[in-house]
Each structure stands twice: as C-alpha cells, then as structure tokens.
C-alpha cells in the first residue's frame, strides 16, 4: 500500500510539473545557501587546524602576550626555558626597530634576529633566498625585497645598522610570507641578522614577540607549563600566556563556528520561506483534487492513506530541493573560495568540505521541512467527508 501511495505521489508531482519545480526551487535556494556556508566554514576550520599544526605543532607550547597581541612584547630568557626538564628545544622571535643606512636610502626599519633553530619550528621561517646565499656568520644581513629597494642595496653592498656595518649576502624571495611567524611583519619588509648580533645591538632584558617551546616525547605538558610560568614570574613578566596546539585551535575554531552558525541561521530563513512555498502548493493541490480525494475514500482509502499521500508529495518536493540545493551550494562554495584565493592571493588557501554528516543533514532537514509544511494541508485533505468531497465543484 505504501509503495502504491509513493508511486501516486510521484505521478501527481509530475502532473503539476511547473508548479512543482517552482516549489522545489524555493527549498533549493535555502538548502544551497546553508550548505555553501557550512561547507566553507568546515573547510576553514580544517585549514586553520592544519596551519596551526604547521606553525605551532602538537607537542608544542606557544608563549606570547595575552590575546596573541604581537605588538606587545614579553620578557623571557630563552636559554633558561631550554634548560627546563622535558623541553627538547625552544626559540624566541625577536624584532627591533633600528636606524639603518644603505647606499641609496636610510630610515628606521624592522630587524629580525635569526636563529637557525627557527626553521624546524616554523615553516614560514624557512627563508628562501632569491639572490646570494643564506646567513653564514657575523656581520652578514639578508634583505627583504622591499627593504632592498628602499635602501638601494644590492648583493655585496654594505648597510649600517645602529652604527654597525653589515654586508648584504642575499635578498629574500619577494613573497607575502611571514606574518604571524615573524611577529606580525612580512619578510619583504625586514632585515635579517643573526640573533646573537641583534642582542649585541640591543642589550638588556630580552623582549620578544613570542616563544615556541617544543617538548620531548611523553613529556608532562602540565609540568612543563608550570615550570615556564615559574620562570616568567621570576623575570617579572605578568602579561604572558601559554597556549598549546589544542587551546589555540579550539579558540580560533570557536570564533569561526560562531560566525558560521550566525550566517547559517540567516540562510535558514530562506529554507523556511521555501517551506511556506511548499505549504501554499499543497493547499492548492488539496483544493484542486477535492473530488479525487472523495473518490479515493469512496473506494476504500482511509484517512491515514490520504494523509500519507500528501505528506509523501510535500516531502519528496522538499527532498528534491535539498538534493539539488546541496549540489549547487557545494559548487558555489568551491567557486567562491577559488575566487577569493585568486583575488586576495591567499597563502595556504582552503577548500570547502562536504562531509557525510552535512549531506545526510541537508537531505533529512529539507525532507522534514517539506513534510512539515505539507502536514496541515494533508491533515485537512484526510478529514474531508467523502460525500462533500464528491459534490465539490
């Protein structure tokens, strides 16, 4: 019996082809909007987790000012942190603003103290030299592409940093890299010198943008964090915070999830509007098929059969709209992320994610919206007295 009702529902939908398609489009638009926003949000969350893992790592603690404010530096002794039991290695990112003179320009520019250990900690710190070679010893400097133009300096020239002469041994590849890794600055705007020489130019308490501490395998994370906190208190630093991979990922993803839920809620309004369209279509169908309902009841159909017939019709229209909306929504998400990545030349571009949960959720929710929208018209149809239905003109 249910199979026959299902077939009859499909026949009735095909019979009202144009009206059915217009109703399906209403569900389609809402579902497409929700799927596009959720798939983009899930893709962004996965990308954030991968980027954080690449920059920070799992068995790693990030020491920074509260709120990851890289403009506010913190005081610490990186050698003392390296000596803490359970610490495999640690690096501190330190930049200073120095007065620099070159062959063709001068001014106050950002200087980064470079430690070779940085490369194994932070992918963006793996400096790519376009000309010349990497730093090899004291008295050498690497220039970012824009910095080299500002100073009018080329390979082999000398530049003066705070009165000390340095030889340009290389220029960095012109790319928008760095950012978080270099304390909020891009490599194109920096001068890079050995960390030891930066300390000599700017003696005194070491103020850094942040530090990254890597633990040995099976180290007690809580114990190491307590030891680092004790060190920070000992040097008089009260504004530092310690964040591990899970903390950082959770904090960022909670913000993304909040924005995603807000936007998906707005898009869900379109889905509810589509449900109103289904209800309108089903009410019209009940009026048009009143005599048909009377005939069905006259030949033995029960109220529940009529109810299921109209619920199948409304649910199938919702399901069709959900399936098409899911395909269109994911396609829109792919196109949108590709355009954004190309226009803004985003580093580490992400792609939307179409999870099985999203697929099943979109289909189920669109079917339920259609069925609920058709519930009242279907109930009204099932309660029609057969005699009155047969006399309806």
What are the DSSP calls for 153-190, one per residue?
--TT-EEEETTEEEEEEEEE-SS--EETTTTSEEGGGE
Q: Between 271 and 25, where is the model more confident?
A: 25
How far apart are alpha carbons 192 and 110 in whole angstroms?
A: 9
Q: What are phi and psi of 24, to 5 degrees?
A: -60, -40
How far apart are alpha carbons 31 and 358 in whole angstroms?
A: 11
Whether pLDDT at 166 is above 90: yes
Count of CB atoms within 10 A of residue 37's CB?
A: 25
Say what the pLDDT of residue 387 is: 61
What percentage of the chain has pLDDT greater than the value 70?
Answer: 79
**389 contacts: CB under 8 Å, gap ≥ 6:** 290, 291, 293, 294, 297
- What are the tokens at 74? 């913190």
- pLDDT (tens digit, 9 = 90+) per residue, 230-260? 998 888 888 888 877 667 667 777 777 777 7
Which range has highest mean pLDDT (276-280, 284-288, 360-364)? 360-364
DSSP letter, residue 130 = E
Please, which contacts does 216-223 make with residues 24 or more away whose CB atoms are closer than 8 Å? 216/86, 216/87, 216/88, 217/59, 219/59, 219/86, 219/87, 219/88, 220/86, 221/59, 221/61, 223/86
Least confident interval from 9-23, 88-102, 155-169:
9-23
Whether pLDDT at 13 is above 80: no
Q: Please answer whether residues 155 and 171 qualify as being in contact, where contact means their C-beta atoms are separated by less than 8 angstroms.
A: yes
- pLDDT (tens digit, 9 = 90+) per residue, 280-323? 777 777 666 666 777 776 777 777 777 777 777 788 888 888 88
- pLDDT (tens digit, 9 = 90+) per residue, 213-235? 888 887 888 888 899 999 988 88
- What are the tokens at 61? 């603690």
Say what the pLDDT of residue 259 is: 74
Q: Please answer whether residues 310 and 376 qualify as being in contact, where contact means their C-beta atoms are separated by less than 8 angstroms.
A: no
How far apart are alpha carbons 109 and 144 in whole angstroms?
A: 11
How far apart are alpha carbons 389 and 291 in whole angstroms?
A: 5
How far apart are alpha carbons 4 and 22 in whole angstroms?
A: 25
- pLDDT (tens digit, 9 = 90+) per residue, 84-117? 999 888 888 888 889 999 998 999 998 988 887 7
Say what the pLDDT of residue 63 is: 86
Say what the pLDDT of residue 98 is: 92
What percentage of the chain has pLDDT greater than the value 90?
Answer: 9
Whether pLDDT at 194 is above 70: yes
Residue ranges of domains in the chain: 2-53+249-391, 73-238
Say what the pLDDT of residue 65 is: 83
How far apart are alpha carbons 295 and 37 in whole angstroms?
A: 47
Say what the pLDDT of residue 4 is: 67
């Amino acid at each position: 019996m249910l199979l026959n009702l299902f077939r009859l529902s499909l026949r009735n939908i095909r019979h009202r082809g144009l009206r059915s398609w217009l109703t399906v489009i209403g569900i389609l638009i809402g579902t497409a909007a929700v799927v596009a926003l959720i798939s983009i949000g899930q893709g962004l969350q996965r990308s954030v987790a991968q980027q954080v893992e690449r920059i920070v790592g799992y068995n790693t603690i990030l020491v920074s000012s509260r709120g990851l404010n890289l403009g506010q530096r913190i005081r610490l002794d990186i050698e003392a942190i390296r000596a803490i039991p359970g610490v495999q290695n640690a690096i501190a990112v330190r930049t200073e603003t120095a007065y620099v003179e070159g062959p063709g320009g001068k001014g106050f520019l950002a200087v980064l103290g470079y430690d070779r250990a940085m490369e194994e900690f932070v992918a963006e710190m793996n400096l790519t030299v376009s000309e010349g070679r990497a730093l090899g010893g004291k008295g050498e400097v690497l220039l970012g592409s824009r910095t080299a133009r500002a100073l009018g300096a080329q390979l082999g020239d000398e530049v003066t940093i705070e009165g000390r002469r340095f030889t340009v041994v290389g220029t960095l590849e012109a790319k928008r890299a760095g950012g978080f890794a270099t304390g909020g600055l891009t490599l194109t705007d920096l001068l890079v010198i050995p960390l030891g020489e930066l300390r000599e130019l700017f003696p005194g308490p070491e103020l850094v943008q942040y530090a990254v501490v890597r633990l040995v395998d099976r180290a007690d994370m809580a114990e190491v964090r307590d030891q680092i906190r004790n060190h920070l208190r000992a040097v008089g630093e009260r504004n530092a915070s310690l964040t591990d991979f899970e903390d950082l990922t959770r904090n960022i993803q909670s913000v993304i999830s909040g924005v995603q839920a807000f936007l998906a809620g707005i898009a869900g309004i379109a889905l509810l509007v589509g449900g109103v369209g289904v209800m309108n279509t089903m009410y019209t169908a009940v009026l048009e098929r009143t005599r048909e309902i009377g005939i069905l009841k006259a030949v033995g159909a029960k109220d529940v059969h009529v109810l299921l017939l109209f619920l199948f019709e409304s649910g199938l229209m919702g399901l069709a709209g959900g399936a098409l909306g899911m395909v269109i929504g994911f396609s829109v998400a792919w196109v949108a992320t590709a355009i954004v990545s190309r226009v803004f030349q985003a580093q580490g571009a992400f792609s939307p994610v179409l999870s099985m949960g999203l697929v099943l959720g979109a289909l189920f929710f669109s079917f339920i919206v259609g069925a609920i929208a058709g519930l009242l018209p279907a109930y009204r149809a099932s309660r029609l007295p057969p005699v009155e239905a047969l006399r309806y003109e």
